[in-house]
Structures are given as C-alpha cells and as structure tokens.
C-alpha cells in the first residue's frame, strides 16, 4: 500500500496553492503535514483524497494511477476540524455507518464499533445522539467513524484543534498507537510543532504552498534543510541573527568578535544566518565555549517549572526558554548564553550550511 504524488500542483484563479510536489507515503506510516494557516495543508490533503483534481501531475495508489478518480471510489476516510456526524443516529450507529455501507456482518460491526468506542472513550455514550455530547465527544465520534472502517488512507485535518487541551494530550498519545495497529497510511495536518513531535512518524513541513522537507519527524526537527523549515518547526519560533566568519574570528550581529568556537571550525569565511532554538539559550554559561549576548528583557512568562524570556537583542526579538522560575524585571538588561554546538548555520538564501553539532549526535 503506497500513495505517490508525482509533480502534483494546484492553482486557483491564477494563484498557486500547491507548487509541484513529489511525495511517497508508505503503508503503516503516520505522516504529519506541519505548517501555518494557508500554507497548503488542506489543499494537499484534498489532492491526496481525490476531492480536487491536480492542475499538473498525478496521484498513484498501490501503483495504480487514480488521478481524477472520485473520492467515493477510493478507500479514503477524512476527518475535519469541524466534526461531522449524523445528528439523528446514536453514537453507535454513527460509528457503525461506514461499515454498514460496505456490507460487513453484524457481529463484525459490533466488535469493531465497541473496540473503537472504547479507544475513543465513548463506550458509556453509545446510545446517545451526537447533540447530547460535548464538543470533544462529538469529535471523538467523528474520529471513531474514520477509524472503524479501516480505510487504506486516513486523512485528519487538524482533528484536535477544537478539543480541550487535556483531551488533546490524551488523544495525541492514543493516535500513534491506533495507527500502528491499523496498518493504514495516516496523514495528519497540524499547525503545532509539538503535536508533530508527539505523533512521531514522518513530517512534511509546508511553507507557502511548498513541501520544504519530508522525513522522519525528529530528524526534520533537528536537521531542518532551510530557514523556512526551521521557522515552521519551532514553537516558540527559532531565533535568528546574522554572523560573519573571518579567519579565526566570528562576529555575531553588532557584537564584538569572539574566537571561532570549535563547533563551527569547518565554516568558510563569509556572512551567514545563525539560528538557535529558545530552549538552548541559558542564563549562565554552561561551558567555556558559551557565547554571551547582552539583551534587554521585554516580558517574562512563567509556566510553573520554566520561564519564557522575551528579549531584545539590538533590535531583534528573541525568545528564550529557561529552567525554573526566574524573577526578572521587564526592562532590565540580561546576559544570555549559548553553547556553540546548538547553532545552526544557514546561507544568505536560507539553505542549511551546517546543522547544530548536538543535533548530529541526538
């Protein structure tokens, strides 16, 4: 079972929604489409499902060209952010409906419905109507309907966006287990990097209608191929600043030059964009190589166990995430430290020159 997109694109009224895209999704894999609103996640899913016909390129299912084939004739299940259930049917019948359509036996349907309901924590509500359920329960009912029929391709378009935080957390833990058992190809669209990481599997990052990278989720996170991918796959956003390397010296923005750290010794002379994640900024130097930056603290946000610091570094806005509860005054100057092994180097056009050293090891 594979889904292959070959040079698939989509144009609406002269405006490009999806640039030509090649993508191969294998049997039994979880594939996350990660990107901000309007980056093309839903457009790409609709092309995969056959809800839209691509402007160019073709879609192949198990080697067969299914471009233009109606969605009804394909083994596809889709769940949207706005949950859709039959209001006049009980939860049981809602979950059973996709199986009845394909003519399964009564006992087969019953065991599948009960198993899926248990997984979705809907067992006590099987006799109720969808409108008697909370929003979260309604969405779980819609998810159950997509899962129960064992479609080869299950497309989930931000399915947890309308749910309570804790329920989302529980379902994020459950969904990878469900998909492991089903053997289907899952495609899951989200705007949230943390959700992608929790789901694991593979991630395709989307930016302005382009898939910027596709690969195992942790490796896309730790080795982003360009600044667009790094930006999409970092929450809070990755911090950037311009650096210049000349001989044995390295200059960060307008700061004084420092001796070139070992971690960046292979870099050619020139100007680059350095990127680093908020959680790698620290309030004290961890090693002798740590680089110090003087910043002004704009705002702190305390989560209980950690503190977000919003910083102004010579006009650039940075975010840091540090351990513990830090009592700091907005407006104060603050020295922050960065281990050079945490720095990503990008060329002026945004492509990755070298991944952070720690990421190569992780």
Partner 1 sequence: MAKITLDNLAHSYSPNPSSEEDFALKELNHDWVDGEAYALLGASGCGKSTLLNIISGLLHPSQGRILFDDVDVTNAPTAERNIAQVFQFPVVYDTMTVHDNLAFPLRNRGADASYVAQRVQQIARMIGMEEQLNRKARGLTADAKQKISLGRGMVREDVNALLFDEPLTVIDPHMKWELRTQLKSLHHEFGHTMIYVTHDQTEALTFADKVVVMYDGRVVQIGTPQELFERPAHTFVGYFIGSPGMNLFEAQIDGKTAKIAGVPVALGAGYAPVGGKVQVGVRPEFVHLSDTGIPARVTRVEDVGRHKVIRLDVEGHKVSAIAEEGAQIPDGASHITFDAAGINVYADDWRVTAKQEAAT
Residues that bind partner 1 (CB under 8 A): 36-38, 134-136, 164-167, 169, 191-194, 197-198, 200, 218, 221, 235-237, 277, 279, 298-299, 301-305, 308, 310, 319, 321, 325, 330, 358, 361-362
| DSSP helix/strand/coil, 60 | strand
Q: Whole-angstrom Cα distance, residue 26 to residue 47?
A: 17
CA distance 182 to 171: 16
CA distances from 12 to 15, 19, 82, 96, 212 (A): 5, 12, 23, 37, 21
* Residue 167 C-beta: closest distance to partner 1, Å: 8
Pairing between β-strand 202-207 and β-strand 30-34 as defined by DSSP bridges: parallel
Report the alpha-carbon distance of residue 340 to residue 334 in Å, rounded: 19
CB of 75 to partner 1, least distance (A): 29
For the bound state, the minimum distance from the C-beta of residue 11 to partner 1, rounded and expressed in Å, comes to: 20
Q: Which is nearer to partner 1, 72 or 165 (CB)?
A: 165
| Closest distance of CB 126 from partner 1, Å | 20
Shortest Å distance, C-beta 182 to partner 1: 18
Q: What is the closest distance, in whole angstroms, from the C-beta atom of residue 161 to partner 1 in the complex?
A: 8
Q: Quick one: 319 or 345, whose CB is closer to partner 1?
A: 319
Closest CA to 187 of 21, 24, 52: 24
| Residue 316 vs 362, nearer CB to partner 1 | 362
Sign of the dihedral defined by the CA atoms of residues 11, 69, 141, 83, in that order: positive
Nearer to partner 1, 214 or 272 (CB): 214
Nearer to partner 1, 148 or 198 (CB): 198
| 240 versus 358: smaller Cβ distance to partner 1 | 358
Q: How far is CA 269 from CA 243, 247, 272, 299, in A?
A: 10, 7, 9, 36
Instruction: Determine the Cα–Cα distance for residues 237 and 317; give it in Å rounded to an integer.
Output: 10
Residue with Cβ nearer partner 1 (237 or 350): 237
Phi, psi of 9 (to 5 degrees): -140, 165
Q: How far is the CB of 288 from partner 1 (least distance, A)?
A: 19
The packing angle between helices 106-119 and 135-148, to 10°, is 140
């Amino acid at each position: 079972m594979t889904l292959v997109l070959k040079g698939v694109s989509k144009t609406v009224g002269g405006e490009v929604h999806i640039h030509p895209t090649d993508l191969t999704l294998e049997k039994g894999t979880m594939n996350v489409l990660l990107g901000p609103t309007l980056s093309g996640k839903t457009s790409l899913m609709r092309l995969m499902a056959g809800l839209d016909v691509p402007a160019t390129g073709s879609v192949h299912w198990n080697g067969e060209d299914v471009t233009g084939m109606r969605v009804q004739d394909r083994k596809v299940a889709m769940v949207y952010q706005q949950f859709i259930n039959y209001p006049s049917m009980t939860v049981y019948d809602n979950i059973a409906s996709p199986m009845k359509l394909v003519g399964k036996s009564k006992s087969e349907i019953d065991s599948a419905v009960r198993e899926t309901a248990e997984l979705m924590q809907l067992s006590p509500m099987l006799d109720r109507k969808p409108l008697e359920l909370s929003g979260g329960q309604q969405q779980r009912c819609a998810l159950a309907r997509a899962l129960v029929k064992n479609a080869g391709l299950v497309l989930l378009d931000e399915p947890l966006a309308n749910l309570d935080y804790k329920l989302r957390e529980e379902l994020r833990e459950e969904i990878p287990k469900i998909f492991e058992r089903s053997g289907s190809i899952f495609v899951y669209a989200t705007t949230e990097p943390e959700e992608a990481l929790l789901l694991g599997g593979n991630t395709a990052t989307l930016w302005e209608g382009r898939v910027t990278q596709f690969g195992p989720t942790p490796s896309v996170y730790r080795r982003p191929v360009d600044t667009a991918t790094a930006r999409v796959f970092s929450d809070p956003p990755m911090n950037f600043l311009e650096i210049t390397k000349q001989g044995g010296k390295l200059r960060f923005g307008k700061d004084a030059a420092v001796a070139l750290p070992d971690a960046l010794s292979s870099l050619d002379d020139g100007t680059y964009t350095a990127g680093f994640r908020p959680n790698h900024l620290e309030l004290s130097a961890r090693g002798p190589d740590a680089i110090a930056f003087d910043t002004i603290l704009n705002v702190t946000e305390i989560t209980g166990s950690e503190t977000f610091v919003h910083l102004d570094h010579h006009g650039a806005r940075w975010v840091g995430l540090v351990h513990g509860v830090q009592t700091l005054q907005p407006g104060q100057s603050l020295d922050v430290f960065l281990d050079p092994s945490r720095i990503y180097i990008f060329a002026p056009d945004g492509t990755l020159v070298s991944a952070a050293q720690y990421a190569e090891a992780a």
